[in-house]
Copies of this chain bind each other. A is one copy, B any other.
Amino acid sequence: MTDQSDAARHAAHAYVDLLERRDWSGLAALLTDDVVYEMPQTRERVRGRDAFLRFNTEYPGDWHLRPRRVIADGRLAALLLDVRVGVEQQDACVWLEMSAQGLISKIIDYWPEPYDPPPGREHLVERW
């Protein structure tokens, strides 16, 4: 388990670092041929390394990624990212699955948006 976790942790760090540096050949080397990328909020799925790389190279905006948490456990990893595009900031939750060969075989991205809290719990919370 520990060796697998170490490999998954390393891949998760490399995934963010290579995206941030737009190192597309480095990123490609991390991925299985048939990697699947899913965005459950829009029910969108991208199949295959070539389409996933193109999705990223075509993604608009001067986006920047900084890992806030990287957690690895066997063949699974999770990343909490600080994402910035200009002055806009958003957190992203990313879930990775590794193949038996230590390549990333599945990526699930969540992009939670700010919203107004529902009324009725003001007595229990503080805002920041």
Contact = CB atoms under 8 A, between A and B. Distances in A.
Interface stretch (A17-25, A26-34, A42-50): A42-50
Interface residues of A, number: 46
A115 to B, nearest CB: 6
A33 to B, nearest CB: 16
B117 A44 contact: yes
Q: Is the interface of A mostly helix, strand, loop or mixed?
A: mixed
A41 B78 contact: no
A116 to B, nearest CB: 7
A6 to B, nearest CB: 10
Nearest to A76: B71
10 contacts: A5-B73, A41-B114, A42-B115, A44-B117, A55-B121, A55-B124, A58-B120, A69-B78, A73-B73, A110-B112
Interface of A: 1-2, 5, 9, 39-47, 51, 54-55, 58, 60, 69-73, 76-78, 80, 91, 93, 95, 108, 110-117, 120-121, 124-128
